[in-house]
Structure 1
Amino acid sequence: MDTLFIRDSFLQLLSGVPLTLELTAFAFLLGLMLAMLIALMQVSRLRLVRMLAGSYVFVIRGTPLLVQIFLIYYGLGQFRPTLQSLGLWQFFREAYWCGILALSLNGAAYGSEVLRGALQSVSKREIEAAKACGMSGFLLYRRIIMPLALRQALPAYGNELILMVKATSLVSIITMMEITGIAARLISETYRPVEVFIAAGTIYLIINFLLTRVVSMLDWWLTPHLRGVPTTGNPEHAND
């Protein structure tokens, strides 16, 4: 195994990191907003609303992401006249936007399950206490339920962020030159897949390591009551 070639491949693959991070950021944020909406639909009192949200989650989670990317990028091309009449063709003709859309829709389905569990885990006593203070409806969700649910969901949703980074590798199949797309090009030029994929895997590993550290720091910042405090000395100065 040629370590110098791995180093050179690593340096060339770094040019795909900005696009990978860009796809991850846009798809994750859009997916998070859509996941919140779907999670709220799943805990709704209206049966039809719950059925619509459940059907969406079932379909997206039950089909491969690669198939979803193909359907959006290639499949919607069959409806070009309709999309042109609606002014949407400029959006769906670009692999970049199709990739973000597919990643967002897929991430939203998985993320909504995380948020749904977090919403249902909010203590009934805290909800009743908020209602006793006069909160209800949107105000109750905005000030009590959603902040508590998001805090509960943070560790699990951090995993969704890592999965999103790895899922971006699939958009290389629709001509996107992110890390995996550049790796595929290098392999076609050099016929040395082992070294190229070792370099690509190393880059993904570094990105995910940094992201896990960021999520851990955010989790630590949001849970000051769970941080360790000294068990010896004057308890009055334990938090100094």
Structure 2
Amino acid sequence: MNTVSSVVRPPEPKRPWTGSRIAGHVLMAMWIVSFAFLLLYLGNNIGSEFVARYAPEYLSGLIITLQLVVISVVAGAILSVPVALARNSRNRILSGIAYGYVYFFRGTPLLAQTFLFYYGVGTFREAFEAVGLWWFFREAWYCVLLAFALNTAAYQAEILRGAVLNVPRGQWEGGQALGLSRNVIFFRIILPQALITALRPYGNEIILMLKGSAIAAIVTIFDLMGETRRAYSRSFDFQAYIWAAVIYLVMVEALRQVWEKLEQRLTRHLVRSD
């Protein structure tokens, strides 16, 4: 007579309620309650006089913020390619210049860089007038755009450089074995693979630029934060900053979702199905 023996697994021991677990649950509960109160507050004020009066200004500031971020990120992406190539160059002079550029813009605050272009360039007004560039530096919009573009280019250059170094050396050797030039190997083989690796850091950099763009309001740019400050100075209603925070939160979450979908689509061939 055959008998079938079954193995009975012992029950898993319950995890003790340590202080860290209790604190985590308390913080989570506080976040949920705070979010519920925020939704209730916004729902009660969606039809308020403040929203009716300042909603068009917020929309105008939002458009300016998006323009500033998009232009600076695209310009920074274009500039980051030669900077990354220079950082990886065997020419010490070229590599040193690129290193100094990246070191400065990554090592100093974006606010200080914005002030440097907006206030500091005025010291050399006569020199810029002589070469016909004062029309550019006398406008706050162009100064902020230049500072943002140079700043994000430094970060994007390091992201791209790290992604390029992450590509296996055999890709270079395979291209050389086929008789391809270094430029063709880089732009047709190495760069596409590096961009896949750099997708997540690029998304983080865009989000940081979106949040950091609020600095533009300090130098008379009426972006979203600039319109928020103006609305508060006229109404002294603190919901001005609450609405601004919610709009920034929605933009960041929307960008995160879009970037995640883009990353999944571009890397779908790397996912191995079981």
**Are 2:116 and 1:116 equivalent residues in the alignment?**
no
Return the offset for 1:169: 0.6
> What secondary structure sits across from 2:198 in the alignment?
helix
Q: Choose which of 170, 177, 184 in structure 1 pairs with 2:222.
A: 177
* 1:43-58 matches, cutoff 5 A: 43-58=88-103
1:224 to partner: Cα distance = 2.4
Amino acid at match of 1:183: T
Q: Output the amino acid matched with 2:230.
A: R
Higher relative contact order (CA 8 A, sep 6+): 1
The question of whether the paired residues in 2 share the 8 Å contact of 1:9 and 1:199 is answered with: no
Q: Which residue of 1 aligns with 2:30?
A: none
- The one of 130, 133, 139 equivalent to 2:178 is 133
Report Cα offsets for 1:164-208 as digits up to 9, x if no partner.
111111011111111000011011112233x21111011111111
Partner of 1:205: 249
Structure 2 unmatched ranges of 5 or more: 1-40
Please state if 1:159 is matched with 2:189. no
Given that 1:187 and 1:196 are in contact with CA atoms closer than 8 Å, whether structure 2 keeps it comes out as: yes
Which of 144, 149, 154 in structure 2 is aligned with 1:104?
Answer: 149
Matched, 1:38 2:67: no
- 1:10 shift after superposition: 7.3
Q: 1:158, CA displacement in angstroms?
A: 0.6
* CA displacement, residues 20-66 of structure 1 (integer Å, 9 cap, x when unaligned): 11001100001111111111111111111111111111111111111
CA contact (8 A) 1:41 1:49 kept: yes
- Residue of structure 2 in register with 1:59 after alignment: 104
The 8 Å contact of residues 68 and 102 in structure 1, kept in 2 or not, is answered as yes
Contact 1:118–1:149, Cα closer than 8 Å, also in 2: yes
1:221 aligns with 2:265: yes
Answer with 209-218 or 69-78: which moved more.
209-218
Larger of the two Rg values belongs to structure: 2
The answer to whether the 8 Å contact 1:99/1:171 transfers is: yes
CA distance in 2, matches of 1:208, 1:214: 10
Matching of residue 147 in structure 1 with residue 147 in structure 2: no
Partner of 1:76: 121
C-alpha distance in 2 between matches for 1:218 and 1:78: 45
Distance 1:25 1:93, change over 3 A: same
The amino acid that maps onto 1:221 is R
CA shift, 1:7, in A, is: 4.6
Rounded to whole Å, the distance in 1 between the matches of 2:271 and 2:51 is 41
TM-score, normalised to structure 1's length? 0.89
Q: Structure 1: state its 5+ residue gaps.
A: 232-240
The structural deviation recorded for 1:124 is 1.0
Q: Tell me which amino acid in the other structure corresponds to 2:132.
A: G
Offset from partner CA, 1:113-163 (integer Å, 9 cap, x none): 111110100111122111111112211111111111111111111101101
Q: Runs of 4 or more off by more than 6 Å in structure 1? A: none
Residue of structure 1 aligned with 2:64, choices 19, 35, 40: 19
- SS of 1:45's equivalent in the other structure is coil
C-alpha separation between the residues in 1 aligned to 2:59 and 2:197?
A: 35
